[in-house]
Chain A
C-alpha cells in the first residue's frame, strides 16, 4: 500500500466503520467501545506506517479529482507537521475510546457516542492531512459540527445545549472568516493547493507584498483564534466542559482546540516574518495566556480549571509562533511544537484523572474534595505526574518545553531591546506562575489535606483498569518524553519543525543545559508560584467580588446579550412573516409571482401585448372555453364547499379535455388524474371543516382579493400571449433539442417521460424527495398535534 492510500484510508475508514456501528452494536452490545478503539488503532497504524517516510524527509502527496473545473481536488499532503498531528489525533483517539469503556454508563446511548467520536476523529485527520484549502475548510467545519454534537451529548441538560450552541456559533463562524481568508489567499496566488504555495518562494514573496496580505492574515487568524479559544473567542471552551469527560480530554484539550494552532503553523511560511504576524499572533497569545491563567483561579469545577488552563497553554504556543518575526525561527517554532506534543499528553491525562475523580465521587466541585490520596492512591500518582508536568517540574516533559519557552522569550526580549528586554520575559514568567499555582491547586485540592466531613460518598476507590491503563499510558509518555527527550525531538519535533520552517533543523533538548537565563526564570517561577499559591483562595474571592460588581466586564455578557437579542428579533420577524393563515401566504406568493413575471416581459418584449395576434380557435374549442368560464365563475361564487369543489373539478377536467384537443396525451392524462385525486382529498377533508366560508369577508377584503385575483389573471394572460405567439425573442425554444435527442440519447419516443426520467432526472429526484418530505411532514403534523393536546 502506498503512502497516499494509507492516509486516505486513515481518514475515511473511521467514517465508514462508524457508519456500520449500529449494525456492529447488535453483535457486540456494550462492548462497542472496544470496536471504536480498534478503529482508532487502525487509523493510528496507518498513520504510523507512513511516518518513517516522512521522517526521512520525503513528503507524501496525492490527489483524486473532485471538482477539477475550479481546481478543487480531494488531495492529501503528509509532512512532518501533519504526521505529528495525525499521530496525536489517532493515538489519543485509541486512549479515549478505550477509557470510555469504563467511563460511559451502559445505559447511555453508546452507538451515538462512539459514532460521533469516530466521525470527529476522521474529520480531524482529514483536516490535518488536507492539501487543499477548501477541503481543509470542509473538514474544519466538520470538526466543529461533531464537537457541537458531542458537547450536547446529554441533550436534556440545558447547560449542555447552551455550551454546544455556543461552541458551534463561535467556531463555525470563525471558520467562515477563515474561508474568506482562504479565498483572499486564492485571489493572490490563484491556487487552493497548500503545497504549491508552500514550495514556491516567489509566490510567498508575492503574498507578503500584496495589499490583501493583512486582510487575509486577520481573517485566517480569526478562524484560528475561534477554534483554539484565543482572545475574546475563548468563551466557548469553558462551557464545552458540559461534554462527557473523555470528549473534553479528546476534543477540548488534546486535538480539536489545537486545530487553530495547526492552522497558524500551516500558514507560518506564508505570513510569518512580518510585523503584523508578530503583533497579532504573539500579542493575542500573551494577553490570552495571562488572562486565562489568572481566571483559572476562580474556577471551582475541576474541568473548569483545566479548560482555562488549556486556553492559557494554547496561548503559549501562539506566542511562540509569533516570535519568529524577530528571533531565529528555529527556537520559537521548535519550542511551540514540542510544547504542543507535551500539552497533548499531560492535559489529556489530567482530564482523564478529572473523569475518574468525577466518576468515583459524583462531583467535580474541587471545594467539596480533599484528602483522596489514601482512597485513590493510583489516581493520585497519575494526577501528580500530569499536574507536575503542567507546572513545569523536572524531569517531566512540561519542564523541557517550558524551558524552551522561557529561552525564546528571553531572546525575544533581548532582540527587541529597551524596556522589552525584561518585560517580555517577565510576562512569560507570570504566565508560568499562574500555571504553577493552579497545577498545585489541582493536587492539593483533590488529594491532599483533610477529607471533608460531608458531601462525598463513603467508599471511594480507584476505578477499574479500563480507566487506569489509558491514563497510566499517558503518564508514562510524560515521564519518557521528559527523561529521553531526544526520542520525540528527533522523530516528531524535528520533522514537524522542518515542515513549518521549510528548512533543515537540528534540535537538541536536554534536561540540563547549564546555568542559563531560562533556568533562572524557572526558579523564579517556582518561588513566585508557591507564594501566590498561599494567597490562592483570596485571589479567587477577589475575582468573584469583582465579577459580581462589574458583570459588564466579561465577553460572555456580550455574547449572551447578542444571542438573546437575535432570538427575540428572529422570533418577532418569523411571527410577522408566518402568521399561520394560508391566505396571507397565498397572497404573498401571488404578488411575488406578478412582480417576477412582469419584469422580464417588460424588459424583453417591445410591446407588452403583441400588436399582431394570431388566434385560430375551432368551434369545439370555443365551446370548451365557454364551459370553463362558467365553471370558474361557479367555483368562485357558489356559497357552499361541495358545489364549489365540484365546479372547480369540472374546470380541471375541461383543461384536460383541452390538452387532448391540443394533442398532448401525457398532459391530459396527468391533468385528469391529479384532478381526480385532489377532488378525492377535498372530499375527505370537507367533512371536517365548517360548511360556510364567507362569514367574515368584509367588502374591503373582498375588493383587495378581487384586485389581486385580477392582477394575477392579467399577468398569466400576458405571459401566455407572449409565450404562445412566440414573441420572447432572446431565447430559443428548448423543445427542438429534446425532439432531436430523445431517441438517440435516451432511447425513448415519449419525450415528456424521457425529459422526466432521463434528461432532467436530477430534478425529478429532487421532486420525489420533496414529495417524501411532504408525506413525512404531514405525518408529523398530525401526530405531534395529538401529543400536545
Chain B
C-alpha cells in the first residue's frame, strides 16, 4: 500500500483535506457540511496518513491523546445546551446574531455553531481513538 505514489498523494492531500474539513464545519449551517461530515473527513485523512506512513512512524512526532479531544468536545456540546439557562431560556435554546464586519461583510454568528464544533471534536476524537487503539493492538 505504501508506494511512492500513495505517499506523495497523501502528503499533498493532507493539508488540503484538513482545510476543506474546517471549511465544511464552518459552512455547515447554510451550505452542505457540518460538524459530523467535517469530523469524518478530518478523521479519514489522519487515518490515511496512519496507514500510509505507518502508525508508529507518525506517533514518533505526532501523538495527541484523542480521548482528550472527544471528552472536551462532549463537554463543549453539553455546555452550549446549558448556556441558555442563565438567560432564562430553555435548555438548548439557540441564539442567532448578525454582525457587520469590515472586509468580511455580514457574518452570521450562531450559538449552534459551537455545538457543531463539539460534534466535530467528538467525531474526530472518538474515530481516531478507536483507530489508534485497534492499530496499536498487537
Of B40-48, B56-64, B99-107, which stretch is located at the interface?
A: B40-48
Taking A677-B47, A765-B77 as contacts, is the C-beta distance between A748 and B70 under 8 angstroms? no
Taking A748-B110, A750-B28 as contacts, is the C-beta distance between A782 and B133 under 8 angstroms? yes
| B: interface residue count bin | 35 or more
Residues of A within 8 A of B112 (CB): 746, 748, 754, 757-758, 761
A765 CB contact (under 8 Å) in B43, B78, B96, B113: B78
Chain B positions 1-48 with a Cβ under 8 Å from a chain A Cβ = 1, 24, 28-37, 40-41, 43-44, 47-48
Contact between chains at A666 and B74 (CB < 8 Å): no
Contact between chains at A670 and B96 (CB < 8 Å): no
Q: How far is the CB of A749 from chain B (nearest CB, A)?
A: 4
Residues of B within 8 A of A749 (CB): 29-31
Closest to B134 in A: A684
Contact between chains at B118 and A768 (CB < 8 Å): yes
Residues of B within 8 A of A731 (CB): none
Q: How far is the CB of A504 from chain B (nearest CB, A)?
A: 44
Contact between chains at A768 and B119 (CB < 8 Å): yes
Per-position binary interface string of chain A over residues 743-775, scored 1 when its CB falls under 8 Å from any chain B CB and 0 otherwise: 000111110111011100110110011011011
Chain A contributes a number of interface residues (CB within 8 A of B) equal to 39
B34 CB contact (under 8 Å) in A674, A757, A782: A757
B108 CB contact (under 8 Å) in A681, A747, A776, A783: A747
Taking A684-B51, A684-B135 as contacts, is the C-beta distance between A765 and B29 under 8 angstroms? no
Give bound CA distance, A142 to B67, whole Å. 31
Give bound CA distance, A665 to B129, whole Å. 28
B126 CB contact (under 8 Å) in A747, A748, A754, A774: A774
A757 CB contact (under 8 Å) in B35, B51, B134: B35
A-B contact pairs, 23 of them (CB 8 A): A665-B32, A666-B33, A666-B34, A669-B37, A676-B44, A684-B131, A749-B30, A753-B116, A756-B34, A757-B113, A757-B119, A758-B112, A765-B78, A771-B70, A771-B122, A771-B126, A772-B125, A772-B126, A775-B66, A775-B126, A776-B67, A779-B129, A782-B134
> What is A's interface to B at a CB cutoff of 8 Å?
665-666, 669-670, 673-674, 676-677, 680-681, 683-685, 746-750, 752-754, 756-758, 761-762, 764-765, 768-769, 771-772, 774-776, 778-779, 782-783
> What is B's interface to A at a CB cutoff of 8 Å?
1, 24, 28-37, 40-41, 43-44, 47-48, 51, 66-67, 70-71, 73-74, 77-78, 81, 91-92, 94, 96, 108, 110, 112-113, 115-116, 118-119, 122-123, 125-127, 129-131, 133-137
Query: What are the 7 closest A-B residue pairs judged by CB atoms, nearest first?
Result: A747-B96, A775-B126, A749-B30, A665-B32, A748-B29, A753-B34, A768-B122
- Not counting A757-B119, A771-B126, a sample of 13 additional A-B residue pairs whose C-beta atoms are within 8 angstroms of each other reads A677-B127, A681-B134, A746-B96, A749-B30, A756-B36, A756-B119, A757-B115, A768-B74, A768-B119, A772-B70, A772-B126, A774-B126, A783-B133
